[in-house]
Amino acid sequence: MKNILFAASECVPFIKTGGLADVCGALPKEFNKEEWDVRVVLPNYSCIPEKWRNQFEYVIHFYMKAGPYIPEKYVGVLQYKHQGITYYFIDNQEYFNSFLPYGNIREDIEKFIFFDKAVLSMLPLINFRPDLIHCHDWQTGFLPVYLKTEFAGSDFFRGIKSIMTIHNLKFQGVWDVKTIQGLSGLPAQLFVPDKLEFNKGANMLKGGLVYADYITTVSDTYALEIQSEYYGEGLNGLMYARRLDMQGIVNGIDYEVYNPDTDPKIYAHYNKEDFRKKKGKNKQCIQEELGLEVDKKRFMIGLISRLTDQKGLDLVECVIEQIVDEFTQLVVIGTGDSKYENLFRHYAWKYPNRVSANICYSDDLAHKLYAAADAFLMPSRFEPCGLTQMISFRYGTVPIVRETGGLKDTVQSFNEYENTGDGFSFTNYNAHEMLGTINYAKKIFFEQKRNWNMMVERGMNNDYSWHVSTGRYEGLYRYLLGEV
């Protein structure tokens, strides 16, 4: 039996702000339990819903100091078994009593340094020795650092491997050297340019990327992109230097949660055999619910996103008048920058029959929109993996994407002459190129319905379940554990 520990700052079903939580919730369940014992460790945030927290069981507690700025502090360890997976929760009221998992970056850096050291410190006490620790994003960046430095002398930790997975290179956990050294207790010789130092500050993610035995990111294209200056967020030199110890593995989605044939959240069930007759019912019902004009012939575009520049919304802002013509409806779900929240609110006020702005995150409404929309728009500036396009395929909704990162790896652009492809894509980060692609999608939808439906069917036949990605992770784990 091989022991794997996932360390992450969020995980479905306990706490979620983005795709990282979906990965850490879905991937551990996919491994063959006869060969792999995969467990997950998270902070015990007070904002985890009571229905879960009430079931957590106390395991042990101890006291731990990190650096001079973090003196002896209480560390509680709780555990809970869910769907065959053991979850551990690191408990400390001072750090994890909050309405949201993240807040002020200085405080976040302190609490995640504490978390990283606490994870390693608890392992000998709970009688679980992982062969490999799989770390996710900057919040767990100091785990590989501690493993190879402060904890390296102990027999218990000797030989434990680590993987660092980058879900989004933009977020790195950067602060000044003096503070991070004071919080972590790591020696001064680590705060140099080829280790933790970054633009005269200290960088938690960089620490993980330097010290981990292997690096993965969430698509093949993104693994190449981050070696370039445009996408590298200042770490492109390091990513290039470690390119032989790095690969992209596309995320999957949970095919039980996202299944239009059984999904309890949508209005009408359908599958790839009967979507031509039944999918349209979902559109009419959501039009009614959101106060849009009820007309199944309208071209409905869905957009579920954090409302930020990264997601390409400046392109949408530039040409939104042309997108929402009299034949088109746009339904937006998400929160983010106030300028984009207000942009969509304004157009929902100006064109109440055509635009619905839902400035919130509602999982129920999201499922309904996946089932109702004809197309999904993802014009991202960069997109490490993206899950929305995979969910869209599952629901027979055609993605319109910019060719970057995981979007480029998963969406094959429609070719009407060969009748191939499962979506529409554009290359340059340009509003009018995006608009041209949206207009081309409308043309196929209105004038070549048979081709459109065949494209929908190809999308629904794609397999972006976790099954495929899990095989690649298993191969990587075996390689690192010397079994290949």
Q: Do 395 and 401 touch, CB atoms closer than 8 A?
A: no
pLDDT digits (tens, 9 = 90+) for 297-309: 999 999 999 999 9
Q: Given phi > 0 = left and psi -120 to 50 = alpha, else beta, which region is 63?
A: beta
| pTM score above 0.85 | yes
Q: Do 409 and 250 touch, CB atoms closer than 8 A?
A: yes
CATH number of 275-463: 3.40.50.2000
CB atoms within 10 A of CB 444: 17
Mean pLDDT across the stretch 96-125?
A: 96
Q: Does position 206 have pLDDT exceeding 80, yes or no?
A: yes
Name 462's Cβ contacts closer than 8 Å, sequence gap at least 6: 390, 393, 410, 422
pLDDT digits (tens, 9 = 90+) for 393-424: 999 999 999 999 999 999 999 999 999 999 99
pLDDT band at residue 247 using 50, 70 and 90 as cut-offs? very high
Amino acid present at 371 = A
Q: Does position 60 have pLDDT exceeding 90, yes or no?
A: yes
Maximal CA-CA distance, the chain: 70
Distance CA 347, CA 13 (A): 34
pLDDT for position 273: 96
Q: In CATH, which superfamily holds the domain spanning 2-252+467-480?
A: Glycogen Phosphorylase B; (3.40.50.2000)
pLDDT for position 4: 98
Query: Is it true that 2-252+467-480 and 275-463 share their CATH fold?
Result: yes
Whether the CA torsion 49, 52, 55, 58 is positive or negative: it is negative
* Full DSSP string of 430-459: -HHHHHHHHHHHHHHHHH-HHHHHHHHHHH
Q: Does position 92 have pLDDT exceeding 90, yes or no?
A: yes
Mean pLDDT across the stretch 263-279?
A: 97
Domain ranges of the chain: 2-252+467-480, 275-463
